[in-house]
Amino acid sequence: MRNWIKAIVLSVLPMAASAQDTGLKSLETSDSGRQWMAVGRLDIDGTGFCTGALISPTLVLTAAHCLFEKHTKKRIDPSRIEFLAGWRRGSASAYRPARQAVIHPKYVYNGRATSDRVRYDLALIELWQPVRNTTVIPPDFRPFC
């Protein structure tokens, strides 16, 4: 029995060492995860279903397919959507209901993954109230403008 345990441990050690070499950083502390706090979870009726990124105090960028019911292919009413900014370990830094949602005008939700569908798979969600939280700061896009 001990030989099996040794064999398992010795076979897993190289994988653990190679995982450490990937350059991935843990987001366990507030400091290490601060730059990712604008990324959050989209909930529909209290159940997580997609992610989004706060790009201004009142706008969330997400995928257009997130705004459609998978089985009925109908648009989800924005009043059923809530953005949970900085979602970590079961809680968020800010909770905001959606006011309205706009999808890319050329996006068509038909259930098939085509290059056109993926190309236009963008949506913006406007929140009822701005996220003004010192831990949730949208990225500064000014250098790109």
Beta strands in 87-122 (DSSP E): 94-103
Q: Does residue 93 sit within a domain? A: yes
Whether pTM > 0.75 for this model: the answer is no
Residue 82: band (very low, low, confident or very high) from pLDDT cuts 50, 70, 90 = very high
- Tell me the pLDDT tens digit for each residue of 12-62: 444 444 445 556 455 454 555 556 678 899 999 988 779 999 999 999 999
* CA 69/CA 49 separation, integer angstroms: 11
Q: What CATH number should be reported for the domain holding residue 98?
A: 2.40.10.10
Phi, psi of 67 (to 5 degrees): -100, 15
Q: Does residue 15 sit within a domain? A: no
* CA 75/CA 81 separation, integer angstroms: 12
Q: Does residue 16 sit within a domain? A: no
Q: Does residue 8 sit within a domain? A: no
Domain count, the chain: 1
Domain of residue 114: give its range.
25-137
Q: Does residue 9 sit within a domain? A: no
